[in-house]
């Protein structure tokens, strides 16, 4: 799960509406964000995902979050989504996404859950909610997982506390409210995204 010239930051646009998604996504892409998910508990999410993919599918890996069923995977794929993010481990959801050739990032908290996801075909995992568990928990889990599995920290991770997560080797992060909340303008989102990308770049330089 990597894009050239884009830091491994997934923008989570929970609550975004179809009439604003293209402008919001444009601000993110212009700021250097290359991964965008629209949670399926947002207003008319499939409409927004379709617009997102049509406008920026060639510039960013776009798709859905809070994906809970294999049918939802199919629905997202049908509108052009290539990224499937879940808050939990459901082997049927993971295997369906893999079958369709999509990038899937299931959410886990324990080693048991992580290994279920890996067995189902996941190559990237997200510790969620990362802020509740902390870097020490993730470091311990990483020690027993296959080295080629990318782990993202999502939930409570942002510009202000990147270093401890980077120090234990996270592949990337997912960020929601620090980047977007309902009511934020595209200009506000762009400013927040530039600050986050700058923080990531500063912490990973050298």
Report the C-alpha gap between 128 and 92 in whole angstroms.
19
Q: Helix or strand or coil: residue 83? A: strand
Catalytic residue among 20, 51, 82, 126: 126
Catalytic residue among 20, 37, 51, 178: 37
Tokens of 180: 């977007």
DSSP 9-65: EEEE-TT--TTTHHHHHHHHHHHT--EEEEETTSSSHHHHHHHHHHHHTTTSEEEEE
Has 23 been annotated as catalytic? no
Q: Does residue 83 contact residue 39 with C-beta atoms inside 8 Å?
A: no
Report the C-alpha gap between 25 and 41 in whole angstroms.
18
Q: Helix or strand or coil: residue 116? A: helix
Among 62, 32, 61, smallest CA distance to 50 is for: 62
Task: Name 10's bridge partners.
Answer: 35, 174
Q: Which residues are catalytic?
A: 37, 126
């Amino acid at each position: 799960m990597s894009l050239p010239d884009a830091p491994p930051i997934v923008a989570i646009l929970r609550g975004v509406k179809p009439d604003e998604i293209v402008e919001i996504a444009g601000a993110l892409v212009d700021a250097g964000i290359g991964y965008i998910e629209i949670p399926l508990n947002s207003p008319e999410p499939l409409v927004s995902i379709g617009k997102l993919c049509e406008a920026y599918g060639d510039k960013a890996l776009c798709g859905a979050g809070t994906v809970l069923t294999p049918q939802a995977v199919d629905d997202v794929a049908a509108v052009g989504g290539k990224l499937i993010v879940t808050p939990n481990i459901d082997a049927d959801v993971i295997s369906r996404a893999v079958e369709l050739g999509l990038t899937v990032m299931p959410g886990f908290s324990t080693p048991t859950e992580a290994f279920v996801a890996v067995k189902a075909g996941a190559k990237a995992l997200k510790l969620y909610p990362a802020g509740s568990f902390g870097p020490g928990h993730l470091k311990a889990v990483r020690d027993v997982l296959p080295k080629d599995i990318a782990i993202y920290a999502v939930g409570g991770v942002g510009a202000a506390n990147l270093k401890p997560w980077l120090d234990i080797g996270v592949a990337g992060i997912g960020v929601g409210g620090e980047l977007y909340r309902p009511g934020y303008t595209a200009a506000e989102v762009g400013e927040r995204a530039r600050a986050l990308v700058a923080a990531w770049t500063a912490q990973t330089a050298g």
